[in-house]
Every structure is written in structure tokens, then in C-alpha cells.
């Protein structure tokens, strides 16, 4: 028998407004949207809670954090995947693009071994066993100055649900690490690398960028086309870098580091993604441009939880306050990311769409989740 669910007396977050009413869900699909505060027999009385589309997360390092909860610790992969899936669902995210690095430097002790191919296979095995709560896709983070990038990318195919390939360039002295001292702090904290060893590491990365960068970028772009994946740039800082990204056909700009780059993305029609933790903290942990000023200038389209899953809904609510428009704030984590990656069956509350939904209320501006549904099935 097909399951039916009615969420009544809710503040429904639609594309352009918030409207009091109810939703009828049949099976995996939204069947009807009604207005008013009536609670039919058998319906769930939401008591004025918000009901919004499930959140769509395009870039999160959360799975990697579960795999390596401490430096040198490799957690059992199935357990890590299931814990990640539960945490993501519990944050209101119903579609996630799991970021996995491809491209390593075996000759550098700061880099660990390739893992993405095996991890993706384990992820899909758990999906086939119907153990995952929400919808998962892959986001391959292509480290273009890494020695093994081409071999690592070639292990994936069209069957792997690769939804995004991002062009990552962490060469010291530009993009995210224009301030090399920020990279020095990171390497000291995570790898214990200092002094001459750090200088040698930087020299190696810059030499590899000169030697491999152009060829590796071209291969990553070709792989994205083969996979049918969206191509993303990462940490663009200048007009020239954005022009370069646009020439490759980049469709999403992840975390541009300057206002100049964000404006250039807007000129090229490339949606700008910023980090939800940036919104909440009031600035970038790497010292780059703050997200909220970009939002005020109309230069922010999409939020990503990046390294804090629970940040996504909170930051969207904060943007709703900044814009005095909750529906617009929520669209940065629902409709906009879904549209950017071509997922037309979710991201908005409309009849015929997937019943990916969240229910929450606000306590002093902080969202309190009271329910998460993925394809009409309770996920958290």
C-alpha cells in the first residue's frame, strides 16, 4: 500500500514566499499543496513550524572527517559512511555530493594514499543494500598539481554517479593560500611540517604546477564531460582566473576568495557558492572575502556546509534575516544548488516533485529540526 502523509498547519517555504498551509505526500511525491490552518483527521499538526525543501549540499568534507577523525586514524569505511549519512540527514540535508579527493603525491610525506575509488565502491554497495537515509552523489576534488591525478580519475566511469568535478589548485602563493603563512599554519597543525621541510614542500608543489597543471586541468575537464558531471572552479581570486574557468565551461564557482572574482563570476553567469561557516563566523577561516558582504551585494547564490553540516540550515536562516526574506535565504541551500547541478526533481515544494522535506522551528533565530523526509520516507 502506498504511504500517505499530510503535514498540516505549517508555514510552507515556497520558491518566493512563505505560506500557511498543508502538504499531502503520497509515496515519494508531493501530491497537493493547500492553504489554511485546518488539520484534517490523521494529519500531522505542525503547529506553525516551517516546512521547507530538503537541503541540497554540493561540497562537504564531512565524509573525509569521519574516515580520519584524528591524524593517522583510518576508521572502518562502512561505519564512517553510515555515520556521515546519519549526521548529514540529521542536519536537514536530503541530497549530498560527497567530496572525495583525487590526485596525490606519493613522494611527499604530507600526502596520504589514494582512497576515492575504493570508498565510492563501498558507498554504492551500501546504497544498493538500502542502508542510506538520503540521496548521495560524488564530488571529485581534482588536485591538478598532484602526481597521480590522471590515474585516479581514470578509475571512474559514467556509472559512478559523479555529479561534480572541481578543479582544485592549492599551489602556495595564490588562490586560497595567497597568504602562504595560512598554509604554513595548516601544515604545522595537521602534518607537523615546519621550517625547511615546509619550504621544500612549497617548492615541490610550485614545480609540479608548472610541469603538470595545464595537462591535468585539461584531463579533469574531459573527465567531467565523460561523466556528465558539472565542472566547478575552486578559490578563483582574480578576473583572469575566472575568465580561465569560464573558458573551460565551469558551471559553479566554489568559494571565490575576493569580491573581484565574485563579480567576474556574475558577469560570466557562473553561480557563486560560499561557505555556510563563513556566514556564521562572519568571515573566512583562511582570511579570504567574507560571505555576508557578497550576499548584500547580490553576489552569493549557493551555500555549502563545507566542513560543518549543521551550518547549512543555520546560515540560510541568517541570510534570510540579512535579506529580510526567508524564502530567498532558504533557496541558497535548496533551489539554487539543485538548479546548478541539473536536479529538476527536487529543491522546491511543488506538486509532482520529490518529497524531500524538512520541518523546523526557530528559537532565537536558531533552527530546531523536527523532522526530515527523503522521498517521503522519514530520514531523521
Model pLDDT, residue 145: 85
- Look up the pTM and report it: 0.92
Model pLDDT, residue 71: 78
33 phi and psi angles, rounded to 5 deg: -130, 120
Q: What's the CA gap between 171 and 180, in Å, rounded? A: 10
List 197's β-bridge partners, or say none. Answer: none
What is the CATH T-level fold of the domain 54-346, as seen in this structure? TIM Barrel (3.20.20)
> Above pLDDT 70, what percent of the chain?
90
Model pLDDT, residue 213: 75
Q: Is the pLDDT of residue 239 over 80?
A: yes
What is the DSSP code (8-state) at residue 168? E
What sign does the dihedral 327-312-217-140 (CA atoms) show? negative
CA 348 to centroid of chain Cα atoms = 17
| Tens digit of each residue's pLDDT (9 = 90 or more) over 187-211 | 666 666 666 776 777 777 777 777 7
Q: What's the CA gap between 273 and 299, in Å, rounded? A: 9
Helix (H, G, I), strand (E, B) or coil at 315: helix
Q: DSSP string covering 127-138, please?
A: HHTT--SSEEEE
What is the DSSP code (8-state) at residue 270? P
Other residues' Cβ atoms within 10 Å of the Cβ of residue 42:
9
Q: Is the pLDDT of residue 80 over 90?
A: yes
What is the rounded (10 degree) CA torsion for 272, 275, 276, 282? Answer: -100
List 25's β-bridge partners, or say none. Answer: 5, 30
Q: Is the pLDDT of residue 112 over 90?
A: no
Q: Which range among 142-151, 165-174, 259-268 has the greatest average pLDDT?
A: 259-268
List 98's β-bridge partners, or say none. Answer: 60, 138
Mean pLDDT, the chain, rounded, equals 92
| Tens digit of each residue's pLDDT (9 = 90 or more) over 310-369 | 999 999 999 999 999 999 999 999 999 999 999 999 999 999 999 999 999 999 999 999
Q: Is the pLDDT of residue 97 over 70?
A: yes
- Higher pLDDT: 293 or 114? It is 293
Q: What's the CA gap between 327 and 83, in Å, rounded? A: 30
Other residues' Cβ atoms within 10 Å of the Cβ of residue 283:
16
Model pLDDT, residue 70: 87
- Higher pLDDT: 112 or 21? It is 21
Q: Is the pLDDT of residue 304 over 70?
A: yes
Q: Is the pLDDT of residue 107 over 90?
A: no
Q: What's the CA gap between 151 and 125, in Å, rounded? A: 23
Give domain limits for the chain. Answer: 54-346
Lowest mean per-residue pLDDT among 70-74, 97-101, 175-179: 175-179
Q: Is the pLDDT of residue 182 over 90?
A: no
> Above pLDDT 90, what percent of the chain?
80
List 346's β-bridge partners, or say none. Answer: none
Model pLDDT, residue 111: 54
What sign does the dihedral 118-123-124-128 (CA atoms) show? positive
CA-to-CA dists, residue 41 to 7, 44, 45, 191, 360, angstroms? 11, 9, 10, 59, 22
CA-to-CA dists, residue 35 to 9, 16, 19, 24, 327, angstroms? 9, 15, 7, 12, 17
Amino acid at each position: 500500500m502506498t504511504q500517505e502523509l499530510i503535514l498540516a498547519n505549517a508555514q510552507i517555504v515556497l520558491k518566493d514566499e512563505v505560506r500557511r498551509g498543508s502538504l499531502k505526500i503520497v509515496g515519494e511525491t508531493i501530491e497537493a499543496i493547500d492553504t489554511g490552518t485546518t488539520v484534517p483527521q490523521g494529519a500531522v499538526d505542525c503547529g506553525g513550524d516551517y516546512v521547507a525543501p530538503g537541503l541540497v549540499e554540493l561540497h562537504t568534507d564531512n565524509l573525509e572527517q569521519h574516515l580520519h577523525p584524528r591524524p593517522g586514524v583510518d576508521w572502518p569505511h562502512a561505519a564512517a559512511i553510515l555515520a556521515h549519512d546519519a549526521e548529514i540527514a540529521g542536519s536537514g540535508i536530503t541530497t549530498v555530493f560527497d567530496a572525495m579527493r583525487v590526485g596525490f603525491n606519493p613522494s611527499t610525506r604530507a600526502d596520504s594514499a589514494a582512497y576515492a575509488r575504493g570508498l565510492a565502491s563501498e558507498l554504492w554497495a551500501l546504497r544498493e543494500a538500502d542502508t542510506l537515509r538520503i540521496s548521495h552523489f560524488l564530488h571529485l576534488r581534482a588536485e591538478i598539481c598532484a602526481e597521480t591525478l590522471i590515474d585516479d580519475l581514470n578509475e571512474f566511469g559514467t556509472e559512478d554517479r559523479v555529479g561534480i568535478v572541481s578543479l582544485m589548485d592549492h599551489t602556495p602563493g595564490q588562490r586560497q593560500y595567497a597568504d602562504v603563512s595560512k598554509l604554513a599554519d595548516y601544515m604545522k597543525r595537521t602534518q607537523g611540517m615546519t621550517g625547511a621541510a615546509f619550504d621544500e614542500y612549497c617548492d615541490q608543489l610550485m614545480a609540479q604546477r608548472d610541469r603538470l597543471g595545464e595537462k591535468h586541468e585539461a584531463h579533469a575537464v574531459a573527465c567531467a564531460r565523460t561523466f556528465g558531471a558539472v565542472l566547478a572552479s575552486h578559490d578563483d581570486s582574480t578576473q583572469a582566473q575566472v575568465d580561465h574557468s569560464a573558458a573551460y565551461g565551469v558551471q559553479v564557482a566554489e568559494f571565490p576568495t575576493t569580491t573581484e572574482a565574485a563579480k567576474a563570476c556574475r558577469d560570466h553567469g557562473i553561480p557563486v557558492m560560499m561557505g555556510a561557516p563563513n556566514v556564521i563566523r562572519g568571515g573566512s577561516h583562511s582570511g579570504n572575502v567574507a560571505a555576508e558582504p557578497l550576499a548584500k551585494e547580490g553576489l552569493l547564490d549557493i551555500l555549502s556546509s563545507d566542513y560543518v553540516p549543521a551550518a547549512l540550515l543555520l546560515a540560510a536562516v541568517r541570510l534570510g534575516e540579512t535579506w529580510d526574506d526567508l524564502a530567498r535565504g532558504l533557496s541558497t541551500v535548496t533551489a539554487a544548488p539543485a538548479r546548478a547541478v541539473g536536479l529538476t526533481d527536487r529543491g522546491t515544494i511543488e506538486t509532482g516533485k520529490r518529497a524531500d522535506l524538512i520541518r523546523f522551528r526557530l528559537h532565537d533565530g536558531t533552527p530546531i529540526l523536527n523532522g526530515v523526509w527523503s522521498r517521503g520516507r522519514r530520514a531523521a
